[in-house]
Amino acid sequence: MDFNLETNSWQVLPVGGDTGMAYMGVSKNKKLFLKRNTSPFLAALSLEGVTPRLMWTKRMSSGDTLTAQEWLNGRSLHKSEMASKQVSDLLYKVHHSKLLKKMLRQVGGTVVTPTSLLDSYFDGLSSDLRKHPLLARVATQLKRTMPQLDPANFEVCHGDLNHKNWLLSDAKRLYLVDWESAVVGDPALDLSMLMCLYVPRDQWHEWLERYYGREIDSAFQARVDWYTMMNLLFFIKHSHGRGRFHEMNQDICKLADFVDTKN
């Protein structure tokens, strides 16, 4: 890939990722993380210290936009580290940043509501999942108990809190990367996803209070519960569509357990 970096001293190497648009630029003892066509939202993330520092942005002759961030040696978080205070503190910062919210709205960030989530779940849903007794019952319950939150109070949500998207630098600074799924929505959407994947059920209340910094009320807990069931339905649909039936059945069991504990 020719990035026209104004000098032939740069070597550009592809790095891992699903998009195929991420590279490492190497010149002598310098390294940069390069990416094509990143959202302008990256500048706000860099200013807030949520992602590694943005060094520059250039328009390429092809019409693509190339961004360069500082290269940080480090590693992704392990699953066992996802319940840590460092994670909850960074997520709280994201969810309460006025700058991030302003910038994501300015660049046309998608607004996600409970209604749009439920519609998305049913869109293209296979007939066997549509007829599954537990899934149908949960979907009906979600329709009946949709959270009522003014969209003006929505915040920035990352949307893909996989442990691989958390970068812990060698200096022990934590960053949240890969923002392609970012939306404007209820922070409970992010919280429920993270807890569902990584926090033991009996630790949820404690984790939420640590995130929030105070006692959580019943209305907030109800929203988290609603998004937890919604996320599990999406996990089940995703696994079914890819033929990962073992993972699908695990999430169906998780959903059944969650519903039982609420009743």
Name the residues annotated as catalytic. Answer: 160
Torsion sign across C-alpha atoms 22, 25, 31, 35: negative
Distances (CA, A) of 79 to 64, 82, 88, 159, 199: 35, 6, 14, 17, 9
- Cα–Cα distance measured from residue 137 to residue 255, given in angstroms and rounded to the nearest whole number: 11
Identify which of 83, 56, 84, 86 has the alpha carbon closest to the alpha carbon of residue 69.
56
| Distance in angstroms (rounded) separating the CA atoms of residues 189 and 167 | 21
What Cα–Cα distance (Å) separates residue 218 from each residue in 17, 79, 138, 224? 39, 28, 20, 10
From residue 76, give the alpha-carbon distance in Å to each of 176, 180, 185, 205, 255.
Answer: 10, 18, 26, 26, 28
Element (H, E) at 57: strand 54-59
